[in-house]
Amino acid sequence: MNSPAPRQARIAVIGAGPGGLTCARILQQHGLTVTVHDRDAGPDARNQGGSLDLHADNGQLALREAGLITEFFELARPEGQEWRKLSLSGEITERGLPEADDLFKPEIDRSQLRTLLLDSLHPGTVRWGQALERVSGPEDGPRRLHFTDATTVEADLVIGADGAHSRVRPAVSAAGPGYTGLSFVEAWFSDVERRHPEIAALVGPGGALVGDGERGLFAQRNSGDHIRVYLIRRGPLDWLEGHGLTGADTEGIRALLLAEYAAWSPSLRRMITDNEGPYVDRPILALPVPHRWPHNPTVTLLGDAAHLMPPLGVGVNLAMLDASELALALANAATVDDAVRVYEKTMLPRSIETATTLDGAAEGLIEV
């Protein structure tokens, strides 16, 4: 089968995260037709996570290409660029203060960014409640998408923007994510200025990090007077089961964490004792380094589906840059095959270089 021109192609994006939505937005800006399929029942089906810093040299570039940079800055929090390092006694040992006009990497909540992107798309672009099961069909197309509700869709290009456990990735790569040996245990705090003033003062307008070599803590201000705390632990993937616990056993998890963080100051331990609601276990996964795959004219990947790395401030930024470059390649190429080649020629070396640099770097989060 000859590769179709992008303007005649059926382009399917799997995953309505920042990468997939950015790709769809820029494709539509250039007059190309695209459909986004997402497993969630709707845009509000689940919590979208914490705050992101979008960098001027990647994430913001993508938003400029999407025509959304002005709207982004209306939502962004430049003050969120402040960072603090704390001692185990809860004292500030280092502090980075952004200049008044510094817009290099302002913060924005994931939910705000997703809503901004969703609202920019043509009505009906995103098809909710479509969890991909697998991709079939010949390498030169057309491809068939099989969803868990037994429906199928044909596509000339499948773009996997479906994250760590991508269902698109097996069509081009046998690689899967592996556990790094670290987990984040997430805790939430709301109405912090009134209900948790000590924690609010300690964290400030941005983020605060502390570690003792065995465990760490990262606290981050979100919009709406919220703070998310990530307790960073080294241990086996099944640590909860190993202690006879489940994710619903909030008091049991709290008791375990308090024992592990016993040497830390009361001011820091408030972030274990005072959280609202359950803890969320988030094991840190990564794809093998390097991760590459043979060129395929009908399937490609972006973001975590292509290059899952530890959460060190690059994931969403690279996903959005990937999305922008792929969409522009499709807008300017004679065929889909040509566009995928152009995109992967830049994306794969960049992601391999970044992943190599960050390989094992998450250990630094507990060695502050």
Task: Please give the full DSSP string across 44-77, using - where no structure is assigned.
Answer: TSS---SEEE--TTTHHHHHHHTT-HHHHHHH-B
What domains lie within the chain, and their CATH numbers? 6-79+104-176+287-366 (3.50.50.60), 180-285 (3.30.9.30)
Check: CB of residue 88 under 8 Å from CB of residue 262.
no
- CA 140: distance to chain centroid? 30
Confidence (pTM): 0.96
Q: What pLDDT, on a 0 to 100 scale, did the predictor assign at position 209?
A: 96
User: pLDDT higher for 48 or 158?
Assistant: 158
- Summarize the confidence of residues 155-175 as an average pLDDT: 98
- Express each pLDDT in 270-284 by its tens digit: 999 999 999 999 999
Banded model confidence at residue 337, pLDDT cuts 50, 70, 90? very high
- Express each pLDDT in 17-74 by its tens digit: 999 999 999 999 999 999 999 999 999 888 778 999 999 999 999 999 999 999 999 9
Question: Phi/psi of residue 94, each to 5°?
Answer: -145, 150
User: What distance, in Å, lies between the first and last C-alpha atoms of the chain?
Assistant: 55
- Summarize the confidence of residues 197-207 as an average pLDDT: 97
Contacts of 154 (CB under 8 A, 6+ apart): 10, 137, 142, 143, 144, 145
Question: Does residue 190 register a pLDDT over 80?
Answer: yes
Banded model confidence at residue 85, pLDDT cuts 50, 70, 90? very high
Write the single-letter amino acid at 108.
I
Give the whole-angstrom CA distance, residue 161 versus residue 300.
Answer: 9
Give the whole-angstrom CA distance, residue 21 versus residue 26.
Answer: 9
Check: CB of residue 354 under 8 Å from CB of residue 286.
no
Segments of 77-214 assigned E as strands: 83-86, 92-96, 107-109, 126-127, 132-136, 143-147, 152-155, 157-160, 178-189, 207-211
- Express each pLDDT in 287-298 by its tens digit: 999 999 999 999
- Summarize the confidence of residues 216-244 as an average pLDDT: 96
Cα Dmax for the chain: 66
Question: Does residue 1 register a pLDDT over 80?
Answer: no
